[in-house]
Chains A and B, each alone.
Chain A
Amino acid sequence: MKTDATAAAKRELIPLDYRPMKMRVIAATQETSDVKTFRLEFCDSGEGERFTYKPGQFGLYSAFGSGEATFCIASSPTRKGYIECSVKRVGKVTAELHARNTGDVVGFRGPYGNWFPLDRMQGSNLLFIGGGIGLAPLRSVIWNCIDCRDQFADISILYGARTVDDLVYKTELQEWKKMQDVQTTCTVDPGGETPEWDDQVGFVPTVLESMNPSPENTIAITCGPPIMIKFVLAGLTKLGFSLDSIYTTLENRMKCGVGKCGRCNVGNKYVCKDGPVFRCSEIAELPQEF
């Protein structure tokens, strides 16, 4: 079966020479002290017109001179003409990207990987649970769902960060909160609140339990730091969610993005090809190396 699949794939090989497309920064927003969001448009408008992607897919962003790094596309494909990505400054490439501003050119290869199961999500209640910079991949699918609001039942968003400053997409969180047909809850870790903070205080899994969402016809999608995911999964299971109805993304290191360099290999999966979006029931069967 595997060999058949390989043979079939071989017939329609996509040539890849690792050459990135050039993209120009058209807006840069400082989200927190160390997270910056870039809005990028293709320098070559032809490339821009041919470019399509689905929420959850990722790309490799080049800061020429420092290298490439992998980030999800944080904007929704329903918003045409640009892509956005949010970058946390932690190392060499991200520091170099942070130095880029409006008008600068960066490189982009992609989109790569799979995407959130929009087909399966149609007609279901959606529960998004994000932590920290983990809201970036969720943001793509959240806006996608909001932009096609009538295709889905209830939409709930739970988002937390360590401190108020660490909350990303602050204006969009306000926007979501104002929407009648979206339930948005934000929380910060105990001690991370400010005197003006008027939402929840507590860890995401704790707040999740107090929200007590119903597993009935609900798909949960969660992204965030590994420790949060671990406890969110435990919480959701306790609430009656099956692992089959929970999705998350794996964030292994990648270099090629197309299943060759071996870096993101977990079990017989390449996170870059078979992921980054995984059903939690699939993840349960993988070696725990992520």
Chain B
Amino acid sequence: MAEFKTYQVAAGWLESVAGALREAKVDVLVPCEEDGCVDLRSNQGLQALPQGYLNTVLPVKRVLMPASEVLLEYERQSSDITLASPQEPAPETVVIGCRPCDAAALEMLDAVFEWDYEDVPYAERRRRTTIVSFACTEAHPTCFCTSVGGSPHNSAGSDVLVYSKSDGGALMQVLTEKGAAFIGKLGPAAEPTDAGPPAPPDVPEKFDTKKIKAWLDENFESDFWVDVSLRCLGCGACSYVCPTCHCFDIVDESIWNRGQRRRNWDCCSFALFTKHASGHNPRPVQSARCRQRVMHKFKYFPERFGRVACVGCGRCVRTCGVGQGLVSILAAMDKK
């Protein structure tokens, strides 16, 4: 494997690299703040880059697996069907400024989308996307990356990990070939350096995933699930903002003889998720659906893919309208 270096850049690097990339027709996504909402957007002035943002509302997942995407289009003739692939191939994309937890989640999405069958729409975008993460300089009380094997300086899933400096400059740790190509865009402005990264902010560990797995192994049937799910309203907010949740729906939308097949985000908390057309529902109550979400992340996924499907970004805790944080559920299990 190639040896990758660390580079040092001065203030203004972001503007210059984004400019160079946009000139090369690369889609550059950066966090932008609008109406109190920080999210990854393209084609925006870089002055919009918010300072000291905690994280984007939606994770990087939504770049690789959009909330809705066209899988194919079709036209029905009297006795035939013409099929067409979606309009354009995914553009070359560089995401600058996502958090290490979001980038780490891509390894989990890779595991699902690229085992056995390779999900072509996902894999295409993944190949064409470079991830430049910003290491965290501070932690929010809802963050718990250290409890699930991550850290504020986690390099997993990133192509470049950027340690911002207070003077606007940065230290850039190149991690992959794609990352090296990104640094290349900076030209001589990026100088190799031996400097090490600053100390990461402290994120306290809130639970032990091994203990949780052990508890889950024994407690599929437990009143605990009924108790913790009473609050849950069964919306999809926690799943949709989750960097690792990847369940989807496939729907057809048509007008007259033409239409498209789309893939949309879906969520195991919805009552209809598993409901058969016959009316039979394998998970008829919210407690079963809450359990599925926790089990899938902390038991089934580890058993199948060797790691928990959670990166500790804390979005579910911050997003839930009724204070049903995953952390409080897990911490309660941990204490059992």
Contact = CB atoms under 8 A, between A and B. Distances in A.
B114 A10 contact: yes
B300 A2 contact: no
A186 B248 CA distance: 41
Nearest to B247: A262
B120 A263 contact: no
B325 to A, nearest CB: 22
B114 to A, nearest CB: 6
Interface in B216-250: 220, 246-250
A22 interface: yes
Interface in B77-91: 79-81, 83, 85
Contact of B304 (A15, A19, A43, A268): A268
B215 interface: no
B319 interface: no
A2 B304 contact: yes
Nearest to A4: B306
Contact of A18 (B72, B257, B259, B273): B72
A16 B111 CA distance: 15
A267 interface: yes
Interface stretch (B25-33, B51-59, B193-201, B261-269): B261-269
B249 A17 contact: no
A149 interface: no
A259 B296 contact: no
Interface stretch (B7-15, B92-100, B172-180, B280-288): B280-288
B271 to A, nearest CB: 13
A267 B300 contact: yes
A90 to B, nearest CB: 4
A66 interface: yes
B300 A265 contact: yes
Interface string B286-311: 00100010011001100111100000
Contacts of B274: 252-253, 263, 289
Nearest to A3: B306
Contact of B259 (A65, A267, A268): A65
Contacts of B115: 6, 9-10, 13, 259
A258 B120 CA distance: 12
Interface in A53-94: 62, 64-68, 90-91, 94
B202 to A, nearest CB: 31
Interface residues of A, number: 48
A273 B83 contact: no
Nearest to B296: A265
- Chain B interface SS verdict (over half): mixed
A261 B249 contact: yes
A91 B114 CA distance: 32
Given A19-B85, A65-B259, A2 B303 contact: yes
A22 B79 CA distance: 11
A287 B112 CA distance: 21
Contacts, number: 145
B119 A263 contact: no
B127 interface: no
B300 A268 contact: yes
A255 interface: yes
Contact of B120 (A15, A22, A290): A15
B76 interface: yes
Contacts of B123: 15
B19 interface: no
B121 A105 contact: no
A268 B304 CA distance: 6
A40 to B, nearest CB: 13
A23 B295 CA distance: 39
A104 interface: yes
A255 B268 contact: no
B99 to A, nearest CB: 24
A266 B296 CA distance: 9
A212 to B, nearest CB: 31
B1 interface: no
Contacts of A251: 276
B68 interface: no
B71 A17 contact: yes
Given A20-B83, A62-B261, 17 more contacts: A17-B72, A17-B121, A18-B71, A22-B83, A64-B254, A65-B76, A66-B254, A67-B252, A68-B250, A253-B275, A255-B249, A258-B117, A259-B112, A261-B248, A261-B249, A265-B268, A265-B292
Closest 8 CB pairs of A and B: A262-B247, A91-B277, A13-B118, A65-B254, A17-B120, A90-B277, A268-B303, A258-B117
Interface of B: 71-72, 74, 76, 79-81, 83, 85, 111-121, 123, 220, 246-252, 254, 257, 259, 261, 263, 266, 268, 273-278, 280, 282-283, 288, 292, 295-296, 299-300, 303-306
7 contacts: A2-B305, A43-B80, A64-B252, A90-B278, A255-B250, A259-B115, A262-B246
